[in-house]
Amino acid sequence: MTQGSKTSRDSFSSKFGVIAAAAGSAIGLGNIWRFPSVTAENGGAAFLFIYLLCILILGIPVMLSEFMIGRSAQRNPYGAFKKLAPRTAWYITGLMGVVAAFMILAFYAVVSGWTLEYLYQSFTGNLVDKSSGELQTMFNSFRDDSFRPLLWFFIFMGLTAWIIIAGVRSGIEKVSKVLMPLLLVMLIFIAIYALTLPGSFAGVKYLFNPDFSKITPDVIFKALGQAFFSLSIGMGTLITYGSYIKKRDNLAGTTLSVVGADTFIAILAGIAIFPAVFALTDVQLLDMAQETGEALMFITLPSILNNVPGGQILSAMFFILLAVAALTSTISMLEVIVAFLTEEFNISRRKATISSAIAVSVLGVLSVLFVGVFRFLNFSSVNILLPLGGLLIVLFVGWYLSRKFTIDELSNDGKLSSKYIPVFLFLVKYIAPIAIAMVFIYGIINAVRA
Ligand code: PFF
């Protein structure tokens, strides 16, 4: 492998561009699809509380570490570890990230494809006047059919590849700057609408009134996985995006904006979904959603939207929102693989994009055809690869890189305030590694036992 290409690197052009792109990666199906269903499965507000704790003491340090590694090395995750820690085995952390990107993209683009199917069904009016039972049958037969899920999967991968070929600034940044504000406006609209429905308050209570007896080690394990997945951390996505950030940008400020935006959108999605579920359905639908994460998005929600005025428009809007959120995330995953291939093997961006999209599609097809593959990719990447990657990243910053290196990088060589850096170092040296390792080991033991 070569030590990175010599041509000048593409980069984000503005501060807003950086935040839009990184928030675009973070905000996705994880916020709007996975967060509400994992929250419902794990006891509502108690889960939210642990989730927020994970974001605060583990998520922020890992994200800041990734941005720092990427920006200082100006390389893809593999190349970055090779450059900052030559003649060591740290590069394996970077390689793991590339593998994780590959695995996550392969199942994530499948669900992204479902959003296009439901967008299409909303436009054609097929979701209207259907009972929840009928909607469930419709979803099951769509999934079992294989042809349509495959078709939408390929369309989604094609869209993703097309944006990646356009480049970092003219593809990723440009698309994120338009789509992210659009997503925010649509979600706020839907949340306000949900809150005006009679009976919606029970949903708000469910989300914000914690019953602490519901916190179990398993809930903590799931909350950590969800926090990492939602923030796109632990696999080098933000090392890659960090490598496109200019030297003068403030990394701590960027991290706080991205974490803030991601958390806000997850909670907003909860506010859009739970009140609507409680206001308009029997509890049975929530039970159903608790059984399968998919049900909340593709069965419960369409059945709710049937019962409200303007439901068809709302449902189209909701699925546009999901597709947009998914797209700005899939591009960030593909970018990890493409940056790795272009820099380490010196191949053109176009060739790297097309070949990696084809390779991901092979795995994607398997996860459309075999639910077992889908579940395996989902569980192993979210609950194993991301926490393990996050653990190695904080150990690298806390114990391998020098204190001076971190202070220089985060303060932009003394130009920015460095008062918070001792707290950051304490978190990455001690708190984050111990906490992530404990939760992670518990999860593995449990998974092996089950
Ligand atoms: N953060 C994305 C979401 O919440 O949907 C998912 C994701 C994107 C995970 C990119 C990992 C990643 F590298």
Domains and CATH numbers, the chain: 15-449 (1.20.1740)
27 pLDDT higher than 90: yes
Return the number of other C-beta atoms located less than 10 Å from residue 155's C-beta: 15
How far away, in angstroms, is 285 Cα from ligand 1 center?
Answer: 27
Q: Lowest mean pLDDT: which of 55-59, 262-266, 377-381?
A: 377-381
Q: Check residue 312 and report its DSSP letter.
A: H
- Which pLDDT score is estimated for 4? 45
Q: Indicate the burial class of 379 (C-beta count within 10 angstroms; 0-12, 13-18, 19 or more).
A: middle
How far away, in angstroms, is 329 Cα from ligand 1 center?
Answer: 6
Distance from C-alpha of 242 to C-alpha of 258, rounded to nearest angstrom: 12
259: confidence class by pLDDT, cuts 50, 70, 90: very high
Assigned token pair, 50: 């642990």
- Which pLDDT score is estimated for 280? 64
- Which pLDDT score is estimated for 245? 96
Q: Lowest mean pLDDT: which of 236-240, 319-323, 432-436?
A: 319-323
Mean pLDDT (the chain) is: 90
Distance from C-alpha of 393 to C-alpha of 100, rounded to nearest angstrom: 14
212 pLDDT higher than 90: no
- Which pLDDT score is estimated for 291? 46
How far away, in angstroms, is 172 Cα from ligand 1 center?
Answer: 15
8 pLDDT higher than 80: no
328 lines ligand 1 (CB under 6 A): no
Give the 3-state secondary structure of residue 27. coil
Distance from C-alpha of 227 to C-alpha of 322, rounded to nearest angstrom: 19
346: confidence class by pLDDT, cuts 50, 70, 90: very high
Q: Lowest mean pLDDT: which of 11-25, 141-155, 275-289?
A: 275-289
Query: Which ligand 1 atom is nearest residue 236's CA?
Result: 13
Q: Indicate the burial class of 7 (C-beta count within 10 angstroms; 0-12, 13-18, 19 or more).
A: exposed
Residues 16 and 177: beta-carbon distance below 8 Å: yes
Q: Atom 11 in ligand 1: which residue has the minimum CA distance?
A: 232
Residues 249 and 80: beta-carbon distance below 8 Å: no
How far away, in angstroms, is 283 Cα from ligand 1 center?
Answer: 30
Q: In sequence order, which residues have a C-beta less than 8 Å from that of residue 349 and are 6 or more positions away?
A: 164, 165, 167, 338, 342
Residues 227 and 59: beta-carbon distance below 8 Å: yes
In percent, how much of the chain has pLDDT > 70? 95
Q: Atom 10 in ligand 1: which residue has the minimum CA distance?
A: 232
Distance from C-alpha of 450 to C-alpha of 440, rounded to nearest angstrom: 15
Q: In sequence order, which residues have a C-beta less than 8 Å from that of residue 9 and are 6 or more positions away?
A: 74, 243, 244
Residues 316 and 64: beta-carbon distance below 8 Å: no
Query: Which ligand 1 atom is nearest residue 229's CA?
Result: 9
333 lines ligand 1 (CB under 6 A): yes
Is the pLDDT higher at 134 or at 335?
335
How far away, in angstroms, is 442 Cα from ligand 1 center?
Answer: 23
Distance from C-alpha of 56 to C-alpha of 44, rounded to nearest angstrom: 19
386 lines ligand 1 (CB under 6 A): no
The dihedral built from the CA positions of residue 120, 168, 253 and 340, taken in this order, carries a sign that is positive
440 pLDDT higher than 90: no
The dihedral built from the CA positions of residue 381, 83, 162 and 179, taken in this order, carries a sign that is positive
- Which pLDDT score is estimated for 233? 97
Distance of CA 186 to the CA centre of its chain: 19
How far away, in angstroms, is 414 Cα from ligand 1 center?
Answer: 32
Pocket of ligand 1, candidates 35, 63, 232: which has the most ligand atoms within 8 Å of its Cβ, to mutate?
Answer: 232
287 pLDDT higher than 60: no
332: confidence class by pLDDT, cuts 50, 70, 90: very high
Q: Indicate the burial class of 44 (C-beta count within 10 angstroms; 0-12, 13-18, 19 or more).
A: buried
pLDDT (average), residues 295-314: 79
- Which pLDDT score is estimated for 205? 87
How far away, in angstroms, is 229 Cα from ligand 1 center?
Answer: 5
Q: Atom 7 in ligand 1: which residue has the minimum CA distance?
A: 232
**Backbone dihedral angles phi then psi of residue 414, each to the nearest 5 degrees:** 90, 0
Is the pLDDT higher at 209 or at 428?
428
- Which pLDDT score is estimated for 55? 97
Closest CA to 350 of 161, 202, 169: 161
HSE-CB of 337 using CA atoms within 13 angstroms: 27
pLDDT (average), residues 252-262: 97
Assigned token pair, 301: 């929600």
Distance from C-alpha of 422 to C-alpha of 407, rounded to nearest angstrom: 9
Q: Residue 359 corresponds to which amino acid? A: A
Distance from C-alpha of 221 to C-alpha of 136, rounded to nearest angstrom: 30
How far away, in angstroms, is 326 Cα from ligand 1 center?
Answer: 9
29 lines ligand 1 (CB under 6 A): yes
HSE-CB of 48 using CA atoms within 13 angstroms: 22
Q: Check residue 129 and report its DSSP letter.
A: T
Residues 310 and 128: beta-carbon distance below 8 Å: no
Distance of CA 294 to the CA centre of its chain: 16
136 lines ligand 1 (CB under 6 A): no
pLDDT (average), residues 69-78: 97
6: confidence class by pLDDT, cuts 50, 70, 90: very low
In percent, how much of the chain has pLDDT > 90? 66
Please report where in the chains the tokens 């903590």 appear, as a residue. 220
- Which pLDDT score is estimated for 415? 95
Torsion angle in degrees (nearest 10) through CA of 292, 293, 295, 300: 120
3: confidence class by pLDDT, cuts 50, 70, 90: very low
